[in-house]
Amino acid sequence: MTDSDFQRARTPEAKRAREDAILAAAARLATANGVREVTVTAIADEVGMHKSAMLRYFETREDIFLRLAAEAWQDWSAEVRDRLAALTPCETASDPEWAHGAHSIAGVLAQSLVARPLFCDLLAHTPLNLERNVSLDTVRAFKVRAIAEVDAVGAALGPVAPLGADQARSVVTTATTMAGALWQMAAPGTRLRAFYETDPELSHSVVDVEPRLTDILTALLTGYAVAATRHADDGWPHDTP
């Protein structure tokens, strides 16, 4: 698609097609090279239009990636909620199946995140820089969408885990925050990762994200469930911290 093709488009449908093309180009480049390496010029070149023309549709480079992050939140949330619905419910931490249940829930969260490398990369960059070079309206629009998905996944945890609503949301927030951080530490597909793997003295620096994240979330789920069960037995409100 050429720059002239973009300039001729006038309808809302054509505008959406332009935006989709820009987002797709940014996603391809970020998947291949990492979010931090992708410039506005590179995205414009990938799409086949001038940078100034491309910036008519998005405020900044960060705006493009923030839009991708919002869409990734929705995609991840939909899959996780479907997978959680298929798990066996556990009502209390004393349920004999809870140990397995906690690990299963943690596995669903960890596996679904690791299966989305771009999302993990975006999760790390969102608070660091993607929210810093856009308008406050754009930040708000993104935050509203992301918070809605955190709430949706948290609500899906309720029927399968003995957690309060606040605890469930904290599990989701921890899962996504840690996925972003661990993904950066793992540095998959980079020279840094290869360096760690070939230097015996640095082998502890090699991070395998999925099992590490699964362990962290299993421990968090177990601790929250014990606290929630104890509070329920004592007659405390279910969401009391």
Distance CA 227, CA 239 (A): 10
Domains of the chain and any CATH numbers: 1-58 (1.10.10), 60-233 (1.10.357.10)
Long-range contacts of 88-96 (CB under 8 A, 24+ apart): 88/160, 89/159, 89/160, 90/160, 90/161, 90/162, 90/225, 91/162, 92/162, 92/225, 92/229, 92/232, 93/162, 93/222, 93/225, 93/226, 93/228, 93/229, 94/229, 95/162
3-state secondary structure the chain: CCHHHHHHCCCHHHHHHHHHHHHHHHHHHHHHHCHHHCCHHHHHHHHCCCHHHHCCCCCCHHHHHHHHHHHHHHHHHHHHHHHHHCCCCCCCCCCCCHHHHHHHHHHHHHHHHHCCHHHHHHHHHHHHHHCCCCCHHHHHHHHHHHHHHHHHHHHHHCCCCCCCHHHHHHHHHHHHHHHHHHHHHHCCCCHHHHHHHHCHHHHHHCCCHHHHHHHHHHHHHHHHHHHHHHHHHCCCCCCCC
Cα angle value 6/11/13 (rounded, 5°): 85
Average pLDDT on 185-212 reads 79
d(CA 177, CA 120): 9
Predicted TM-score of the model (pTM): 0.86
The pLDDT value given to residue 7 = 54
Over 60: is that where the pLDDT of 4 sits? no
- Amino acid present at 64: I
134-188 pLDDT, tens digit each: 999 999 999 999 999 999 999 999 999 999 999 999 999 999 999 999 999 887 7
pLDDT, mean of residues 38-46: 96
For 88-142, write each residue's pLDDT tens digit: 998 788 888 888 999 999 999 999 999 999 999 999 999 999 999 999 999 999 9
Q: Distance between CA 217 and CA 201 in Å, rounded?
A: 28
Sign of CA dihedral 131, 19, 150, 175: negative
Residue 210: pLDDT above 80? yes
Half-sphere exposure of residue 80: CA atoms within 13 angstroms, side-chain side: 31
